[in-house]
Amino acid sequence: MLAKMFSDELLPKLPPLGSQEGVSDPVVHMKFFTRDAEWAWYVTEGSPTDDDFMFFGFVFGIEQEWGYFSLSDLADVCGPSGFPVERDLRFEPDSFSKVIAREIRWRTSRPAGNLHIGSC
């Protein structure tokens, strides 16, 4: 499951944690999402940690906020219909301002969904 979400070939493409700190409009490199809860995690940076991988990015769900999340955290989340978090394979890196503008247009008048932690 984790290998499908984030393969080793993506490592060189993702800036390490802290590398875009202070950048007013950082590049978003990948998107994770739940198809049935309409949550999205937009990744700007990431680095391996012990036996996991830690990301920094913007989470668009019930709240919208910047923060850290791990690959194992994403693997433990599923939407109300039991769909796991997936990586958007069609996502093209772009500036945060452009990515969020598209997200807001797409979400206009769409309610946020609920997430469940644990086995999907």
Give the dihedral sign, CA 106/62/79/39: positive
User: 108 vs 116, which has greater pLDDT?
Assistant: 108
Check: pTM over 0.85? Answer yes or no.
no
| Lowest-confidence pick of 59-63, 64-68, 71-75, 106-110 | 106-110
Burial class of residue 106 (count of CB atoms within 10 Å of its CB; 0-12, 13-18, 19+): exposed
Do 55 and 70 touch, CB atoms closer than 8 A? yes
